Structure 1
Amino acid sequence: MEYRVKDISLAPKGRLMVEWAERHMAVLRSIKESFSERQPLKGVKIAACMHVTKETAVLMLTLKAAGAEIALAASNPLSTQDPVAAYLASEGVSVFAWKGMTEREYFESIARAASIEPDITMDDGGDLTVMLHKLSIGEAKGLDYEVAKEIVPPDAYKRVVGGTEETTTGVIRLRALEREGKLLYPVIAVNDSMTKYMFDNRFGTGQSTLDGILRATNILLAGKNVVVAGYGWVGRGIAWRARGMGARVIVVEADPIKALEAYYEGFYVTDMREASKIGDVFITATGNRDVVREEHFLEMRDGAILANAGHFNVEISVEDLERISTSKRRINENVEEYTLRNGKKLYLLSEGRLVNLAAAEGHPSEVMDLSFGNQALAVHLLWKKKGKLKPKVYRLPAQLDRRIALIKLKSLGVRIERLTPKQVEYLRSWTA
């Protein structure tokens, strides 16, 4: 078994972290128990590109208990929990991840995972999937392709029966491939499951983003003007939790329906041009690029803080920030101070990368239990249906979504109502 981690001697610490997470992940424990008995993935090769956290480790070990062979790479250069990576390696998972990767090391690690010629891919952001697609057509563009062509067979995609995608950004990329007729194999958009986006995106990112900002800066949120760019499920989670901590929240949104929703939920809604003049803390959560850029930086208050909760580090234009700054210095591991040419100082957190994972520990285990329950069931479904699905983006079937919710409710000790036969019939009838 091949692996590359920062320090394998950290494995005992990682084991304790993973045990703690698993204790709070009842859905995955239930699935793991079932998988262990039946071994439905025996001999299946899985290449995964995901945040290497204690919660991800519970998912990987669940799939391993089902009989799968797994190669795991990080989906962000700064999000890996090194003790967890070491523990997974000690448990027989081929891990290629450590915190603080260079860009080349990041893509090399994804290529190492892909080089096992997987049956199933698991992605968080689409980098693994896109890499395999670039190789298939000999796309001579991008560092990912340049690195991968030296490591991964160009026809590695031919063995893949299907894939999964964890996050909004990755689903956007997959739908673009599907729209252009270039998607090579079926992919289940786990992000589109209700037990994922309504909980992970809203409750998980909402809490963990503020956790990352506070760990990095220790500022008082109460009384601050917090600008949240994007009012999707992630943005609304951040906005509601920032307001709950006493912040005055300003929402910047391009979609008129989402903007109207934010307005009627009591937030001040405006564009980034106006928000840049009054914000103290800026949090991006759009999935788009250059959301905060040069003209906004120059209008900001002295001391404004910039944080990103989107998957890729493109939402805050670091290129613009570098160009209009006369100097920069590192305040701590996750805070860089930029002095602009107008004399103002701005503070960028975690290099503009995912602040909740780079500066904190990511989502709480309880909410990732739902997301990764979806992932485990999606992998199982893909293998059961190998050769029967077209190269399209699919949602996980509603009954599996409901199964996850029911397991979680049972673990919480929550009872729900059961419809009587007459009630069921009434809801099915048009005659009433």
Structure 2
Amino acid sequence: MALPEHDVADLGLAQAGVRRVEWAERAMPALGRVRDRFAAERPLAGRRIAACMHVTAETANLLRALKAGGAEIALAASNPLSTQDDTAAALVAEYGISVFARAGMDPAAYDRNLATVLERRPHLLLDDGCDLVNIAHLERPELLEEAVAGCEQTTTGVIRLHRMSAEGALRLPMVAVNDTATKRMFDNRYGTGQSTLDGIMRATNAMLAGRTMVVAGFGYCGRGLAERARGMGARVVVTEVDPVKALDAVMQGYTVLPMEEAAPIGDVLVTVTGNRDVVRAEHLASLKDGAVLANSGHFDVEIDLPALEAMAVEVRREVRPQADEYVLGDGRRIVLLAEGRLVNLGAAEGHPAAVMDMSFSVQALTVAWLAENHAELEPGVLEVPRRIDTEVARLELEALGVRIDSLTEGQEEYLNSWRA
């Protein structure tokens, strides 16, 4: 069999990748049902898809479902540290999908791979952070001539899309997969919470019980992280700029402080905001000796890395895997995890497959909906149709063997009549 076009580290890793993908598949029953349906109905026949996503076993199972539906797919990595080279090899050699991703690639290779998948002149874009959409609009607009729609699955990416739409720059209807109830509740809250702690503990082997963790940002991701850190015995301090979210944190029993007061008492500080410069030079200057810095927001801009480099008199690279130690002039040591990139993917394996089962089932069904209905949609940021979110929740409950009640005719009538 001729292999699809690709740029991966080592095709010899393909069998290890297959084992990894099949292991993840066991925990993704809803997506498996979607794949079976797609194989029978072929809703994506003749559609070219360009994807910028984390190259993980869970992503591989999403792409397998899309290919079963008839799609031709080209995948580039959305983060240089999250690529699993064995998964990339398996996608090419075993599943016939074009992949352009290597673990640890430099920024130039990252940009080149995004351009490569766009040169396939895709009909549909699947983005994770809005880099693919951004480059297509700013640098290669001619490659959007055949594009009809797309999906974005991160908070950061949705924020960028809304700004593009507000300025009249967005040329495509883009669905904010991130904003569905299942995505926010399970992926952002439970997935990010667990996988972020997983990355911190793999990189440091630190005890969290009895230590102070500062969680910057109390959205769904920050909330999940705070819950799990408290469950492991950490004292959790929350920083926020949104009064409503800050009040929510207070009502849940967390200490809420501005970063200037939180930074000096934190043993572990984690940013999860989707914004830049959350931990700045003045905060870095007040950190205690041995403080650990991690980021679980999409881009590596939440911690002021140039300021940290400038303050350090010595940098000890990889004192542990994915842990760099910065020694300041007064002898204090600051430990940065995963180069300030997503710690849950840079130092661990990202969300559990069971969590991604729901997110990627929503993504797959949304792609099929876009392929069928794009002509009726206007450029802008759209919501996932409610029925898709509900269907995925139903599929997941069925896979778990959970049964729920249904409304009686009388209840339906009562809810739909103001005269009752």
Q: Normalised by the shorter chain, which TM-score bucket?
A: over 0.9
Please tell me whether the aligned partners of residues 186 and 394 of structure 1 are also in contact (alpha carbons under 8 angstroms). yes
List 4+ stretches of structure 1 deviating above 2 A. Answer: none
| Structure 1 portions without partners, runs of 5+ | 137-153
1:381 aligns with 2:369: yes
The code of the aligned residue for 2:373 comes to: K
Please tell me whether the aligned partners of residues 298 and 342 of structure 1 are also in contact (alpha carbons under 8 angstroms). no
Which residue, out of 156, 177, 192, partners 2:143?
156
User: C-alpha distance in 2, partners of 1:345/1:105?
Assistant: 32
User: C-alpha distance in 2, partners of 1:110/1:132?
Assistant: 9
User: C-alpha distance in 2, partners of 1:40/1:252?
Assistant: 45
Mean Cα deviation higher: 309-318 or 127-136: 127-136
| Number of residue-to-residue matches in the alignment | 415
Which residue, out of 277, 288, 291, partners 2:275?
288
| Structure 2 portions without partners, runs of 5+ | none
Instruction: Report the counterpart of residue 105 of structure 1 in structure 2.
Output: 109
Shift of 1:350: 0.4
Instruction: Report the counterpart of residue 361 of structure 1 in structure 2.
Output: 349
Which residue, out of 366, 378, 389, partners 1:401?
389
Instruction: Report the counterpart of residue 334 of structure 2 in structure 1.
Output: 346
The code of the aligned residue for 2:191 comes to: G
Q: TM-score, with normalisation over the residues of structure 2?
A: 0.98
Aligned-CA RMSD value: 0.8
Which residue, out of 25, 32, 36, partners 1:33?
36
Which residue, out of 196, 220, 232, partners 1:233?
220
1:11 aligns with 2:14: yes
User: C-alpha distance in 1, partners of 2:345/2:287?
Assistant: 26
User: C-alpha distance in 2, partners of 1:175/1:198?
Assistant: 21
1:58 aligns with 2:46: no
**How do residues 304-323 of structure 1 correspond to structure 2 at under 5 angstroms?**
304-323=291-310
Shift of 1:333: 2.5
User: C-alpha distance in 1, partners of 2:96/2:407?
Assistant: 46
1:125 aligns with 2:113: no
Shift of 1:420: 0.9
Mean Cα deviation higher: 351-360 or 387-396: 387-396
User: C-alpha distance in 2, partners of 1:28/1:98?
Assistant: 26
Which residue, out of 191, 194, 208, partners 2:195?
208
1:391 aligns with 2:379: yes
Shift of 1:358: 0.5
User: C-alpha distance in 2, partners of 1:359/1:104?
Assistant: 22
Q: TM-score, with normalisation over the residues of structure 1?
A: 0.95
Please tell me whether the aligned partners of residues 228 and 282 of structure 1 are also in contact (alpha carbons under 8 angstroms). yes
User: C-alpha distance in 2, partners of 1:385/1:135?
Assistant: 28
Shift of 1:342: 2.7
Shift of 1:273: 0.2
Shift of 1:431: 2.3
User: C-alpha distance in 1, partners of 2:135/2:363?
Assistant: 21
Which residue, out of 418, 421, 424, partners 2:406?
418
The code of the aligned residue for 1:258 comes to: K
1:427 aligns with 2:415: yes
Please tell me whether the aligned partners of residues 46 and 120 of structure 1 are also in contact (alpha carbons under 8 angstroms). yes
Shift of 1:217: 0.5
Question: How high is the sequence identity, in percent, across the aligned residues?
Answer: 54
User: C-alpha distance in 2, partners of 1:267/1:354?
Assistant: 24
1:114 aligns with 2:102: no
User: C-alpha distance in 2, partners of 1:182/1:111?
Assistant: 19
User: C-alpha distance in 2, partners of 1:425/1:224?
Assistant: 54
Shift of 1:92: 1.1
**What are the superposed Cα offsets for residues 86-107 of structure 1, whole Å, 9 maximum, x if unpaired?**
0001121110011101010111
